[in-house]
Structure 1
Amino acid sequence: MQISAAALAQMIGAALEGDPDVMITGPARIEEAGQGQITFLANPAYEHHLYGTEAAAVLVSRQFQPKNELSTTLLRVDNVYETVRGLLEIYQQDEATKTVRQVSQHACVEDDAQLGKDVRVGKFTVISSGARIGASTVVLDQVFIGPNVRIGEHCTIYPGARILRDCVIGNHCVLHPNVVIGADGFGFLPDGDNHYRKIPQVGNVIIEDHVEIGSNTTIDRATMGSTLIRQGVKLDNLIQIGHNVEIGNNTVIAAQAGVAGSTKIGANCRIGGQVGFAGHLTIADGTNIQAQSGIARHIREPNQALAGSPAFGYRDWIKSSLLHTRLPELYKRIARLEKKLEP
């Protein structure tokens, strides 16, 4: 996307200082921005980069006062970070869709699949019998959409994603490369000979609106009923969500976390990377969990901060961690005291 500074300022509600006709081709970090690019300054620690930048334009707060002369155009906004977020969203949409303008002749779309208005489908994508895709959704190359899948409007499905039979995706969702939705849950029944018989997994996965799922994350279908990912959830890369799990509205989970089957995570939780949940647990709304923690019990009280494995109160965990670093010293002191007390 190429746009003049004046047109961009009007789009984002910015006050412009400098050349209104300079053309902007894309965003960049302030340390690296070159000609034709737009960058931003929100953290004062990066201000020194501003005075030598070759960027065409820089987003700054309305209150910012430069200490030295500038050779770039300033766009003054109320909230720099929020403006950057919106700007990146515009460029991401442009990048995601510019290579896909229609249904590719190399895609396989079954006759009874239904595509809404302005749906775009990339090369070597398979859309199976009975699938329905809402208006303005973009399905990129090499995606598999199984029988009777429902996908809402204004979604972006990146290359290599797999959405298996009967699963439901809401509106305004983003699935990054190699996401798998609806693989079988991990269900096996041991018999008397130490063999494991598979328990059929006949449920599905339901993902509500405004959910984003990172690359290589997997969400298993329910044994019966549905695995539920509620509205506004954000999942990072390489996360495993087991069968019949429910994740509440606007909860965010960082990379490499794992949630065992039938655990219910509340709304507005923040979960760090590599956190592990045992199965059949209930986690209260607003729970914050430190990275690499292990959750093996119910969390009934909302808005707690937890850490450790098994997890307990975050402040107590900090104190325990400090004490742990002193154990060698304490051990030596105890040994010296024992020696003095020997008869």
Structure 2
Amino acid sequence: MAITIRDVAARAAVSPATASRALTGTGSVDPATAARVRDAARELGYERNPWASSLRGGTTRKLAMIVPDLMNPFFAELVRSAQAYAHELGYLVLVAETDDDAGAELELLRSLSDRVDGSLICTPQTAESAQGRLVDEGPAVFLHRTSTLVPYVISDVALGVRLAVENLVALGHRRIAYLDGPAESWSAGLRRVAIAQAREEFPDVDIVTVGQVRARFEGGVAGGDLVIASGATAVLAYNDVVALGLLHRLARRGLRVPDDISIVGFDDVPAAAMASPALTTVAQPLAESARAGVDMLVALARGAQPADRAVVVLPPTLVVRESTAPPAAGLPRTGTDPV
């Protein structure tokens, strides 16, 4: 079995991140500690590691990117943007998927930490109390999740929800459904807080939460009947993929969008513009957040301290397309079951 940076760190009684900095010459490491790490690496034969030539040069020119679900176009777009920008900077991005398994995040970081200069972790599910273990594996940046321990890039979800609700209210909707995301999702929790704030901001509008569905197409399909039963004239979906599933189910029930009910998505993935009708949605700045995350991570890998560039918050925008319109007189039709 090849000797890893974790083996060196254990022999030198330091964290893997400290061992990596000592061997690459990046960041600040006490000289005595650095000497101990080099001695441990020499004793274990770490210099014969296949990545050692890169480490001796001070960098691997590789970044890891860990995502929960590559089938979700939100993450696919983040990956595409990060890879393109990293390439401009002379870096290669290695992509790994957790399949929505929070425990896999740390496992993947450990397996990649001695092969990359740092890691981008997209919407990590690791609990705040355990995020210190992620930091121990080397430079890391979160995309689309906040943290008190890890630098992060995020869009202003509360602003996005307010823009969506504000637009629906301006169109004349007074009963709006919110089709919620997974109960355990940190991102869904942010949206729930934003929905609560919208209720306070628009006290004359009924904003009702319906269901808690998977953040996938089938989640929107499953939530369609709940939306119809709510009597709402408009619905804000947890994300675009859910909105597309909802659009499908409403059509099967005989409802017309936006004539009978308006739909707003969240994220502005490419498929949103391709839907029929094209989806009105809150556009998260995915390309910008990926670029900001890569910039932050490269700076950390080159020795910047996390506090130097700890937080980037980007504003979303509302993209108005064909799936929203003023409400028809009265409540929407109840629809019929598909034949």
**TM-score scaled by structure 1?**
0.24
Of the two, which has the highest radius of gyration? 1
Higher strand share: 1
Higher helix share: 2
Higher relative contact order (CA 8 A, sep 6+): 2
**TM-score scaled by structure 2?**
0.24
